Structure 1
Amino acid sequence: MNVETIDTPALGDRSYLVHDGAVALVVDPQRDIDRVEELAARLGVRITHVAETHVHNDYLTGGLELARRHAAEYLVAAAEDVAYQRRPISPGESLAVGSMTVTAVATPGHTEHHLAYVVTHEGRQAVFSGGSLLFGSVGRTDLVAPDRTASLTRAQYRSARDLADRVDADASLHPTHGFGSFCSSGPATGAHGSTVGEQRTANHALTDHDEQHFVDTLIANLTAYPSYYAHMAPLNRRGPGAPDLTVPRPLRPEAVQDLLDAGGWVVDLRSRVAFAAGHVQGTVSVEYGDSFTTYLGWTLPWGEPITLVGEADDVRAAIRDLSRIGVERPGVGRTDGLPTTGYRRAGWADLAARPDRPVLLDVRRADEHRAGHLTGAANIPLHDLVRRIGEVPPGEVWVHCASGYRAGIAASLLHRAGREVVHVDDEWDRAADHGLS
């Protein structure tokens, strides 16, 4: 048995292809399935089964389309209400995938009908735990419904322990979430790999023997999650098709200006440093990188058209990334020749050198602000800023976050709205080094 990992660092998730040298099972594939198909072709294995551990809340699945293309059985929990044909699988059910045996295990908690899959081959076990048992923690339990969080947290605790008890200590563990995904909770880590035995000594779901303490602690530490999550499960229940990853013909600069004049969302993918130095008025800075998808999807109004401007490679990659959260066929534009503007970037040393305290806007999450903030700083989390931009106090605004990334997006939104802004592009942990409190 060989397990191949397909990382999606932009969303903090992993998909898996497990094979016996001839046939393969794919677990929790992302929507851009060409990555899976290229891997299978390179390995010379045939995809005969595709499995979902749960109906995902943080991305659109490629499972249905992958199964269709390869005439593979699509394993989805029998209890799930979905709008497409699949191979319903129930807890305790086993099936053969080539010379491997795949057994479904009930692991409710992250979602109500969550399944884990235990794959056995020649005396070895591999556990595909989805959003149940993660490295160091478990999947969050507040994504189904607020009134179900407590009961699902109890279920998650019991599921994780039951799953660990069912398999050997040396069984390798392969979660879908926990690598920066907001679907994880508590002290989840992004470790390269782990075993169930290691988790028995390191995972708080397995080391905390007081269920109520675990429940209280997990719920108390749940933080805000991206607003686009609300759209993922309904779309996954309907069954997403293949994404269109075609890069469209770029709009001419005049057409981009028309979009801006009409209040459209034009997203500049360049670095926040380059954007601050010079950009077309009205554009929004969302620097392309691992955080791009999450914060664009969380910050800009869902469903409104967007147009991307930037280097060709970044545009191509951004179109792929956005397809994973259902942002379909964004436009592409050119801005050459259009007049530019800019704003200041500063560090904590610049703020400390001022004789007065300017308007400070902290765009970190509310829990981050509560944990420590500068005296007098207003807190409007980045994901609320478009809706609450009128609440920002008057005057020149110095905007900060934890690293400068979110503050760069926020500064561009404020500048778009006509505000004088200074982007504090510095690490939050360094503020105290400059005597700021």
Structure 2
Amino acid sequence: MGALTFKRGIHPSHSKDSTEKKPIKIYMPKGDLVFPMLQHIGAPCKPLVKKGDKVLMGQKIGEPQGFVSSPIHATVSGTVKAIKDVLHPNGSKVQAIVIENDGEYTEIETMKERKDYKNLSREEIINIIKEAGIVGMGGATFPTFIKLSPPPEKKIDHIIVNGAECEPYLTSDHRIMIEETQRVVKGLEIILHLFPNAKGVIGIEDNKPDAIKAMKEAVKGISNISVATLKTKYPQGAEKQLIYSITKREVPAGGLPADVGCIVQNIDTVVAIHRAVLRGRPLMRRIVTVSGGAIKEPQNFKVRIGTSYRELIEAAGGFTEEPAKVISGGPMMGLALFSLDVPVIKGSSSILCLTKKEAVVNEESNCIRCGKCVSICPMNLLPLELNKFAINNEDDLFVKYKGMNCIECGACSYICPSNRHLTHSIRTTKRTIMAKKKK
């Protein structure tokens, strides 16, 4: 049987060579740590501390202010230096807590507890995950406890762990599957304990043979967990595409994975569940790939949330040349930064520092109606038409032609011979339409 895949998609250069063989390196922060109160989809948190307060590692410092929200915890012990607006990796200004690290890393008592998940009720496990502040760490940052609490009528029979990591340059999930293999398996077993009628599938692209081998070895003898080899193709790791590749089920437009009996979790999210449920540790760290042609020594770092991007770039040897563009996330869906003085947050998967050659943006020319963008769109949309509607502010036609279903993967812009900024125009129009609906 060949590698599993979805319909359409593209094949960008994976650009992972500089970090895919490099073990994860632990990085301890040197400066102050900054904790934005918005590190998840949903309502921002409210600070639970004030300037001058002493805090411990693992202490909750941000309280959720809505159902779709997730608490934030201190990742070091120290003193609250300030509560102020700071620059967020998404380019906005948000309220944040600044903590001066005392270097002692004194933990709260509950982090020393050890639990057996088999002795916990479903409600207890869900609450642990909720209070640990775990969110989707593939970039979406949707609170995990909500994903794991589908309506009773949604019968879940597949828990899919996303190890595709289809974005070029990124290798953090790849290294986790090799170095923290058992934690991935144990975290998945905890989720399956919540859904006893489901089976677990770990999906990995076939450009990661060492990860496939490690995970297959780790799940030997576990009847309800398997490893699915996926064809290397972008955007294989997108939720709907991943579900189709593994189950051949199509999530309906406007629907959720639970509508087709599936829940999808990122590799690092599953590890975070293991750490929270079995070891009492809230979400305090994540693995970040620092790469790109402008980086001297590309690395995969295990880093505490709140650490400065600038520090991590320096830890990777700094720049070989002035980067033309610095991106938070992958080159296809990440966000370009205009400052390095932003903190690592729960959704920070990578920092890419690209040279002029890597970051070249060619001038747009007229659409030649070649249809390439249509032929590769994983959502079966008409990007050339949506681009036209976006430029002409034809919102009604944009919605009629399913523009709101775009997953903003960037595949259409990548393939366009006329260098049309298709994804950008579609994304902007989607935001405009959603903003109008809120008024």
The TM-score with structure 2 as length reference comes to: 0.32
Larger radius of gyration: 1
Higher RCO (C-alpha 8 Å, min separation 6): 2
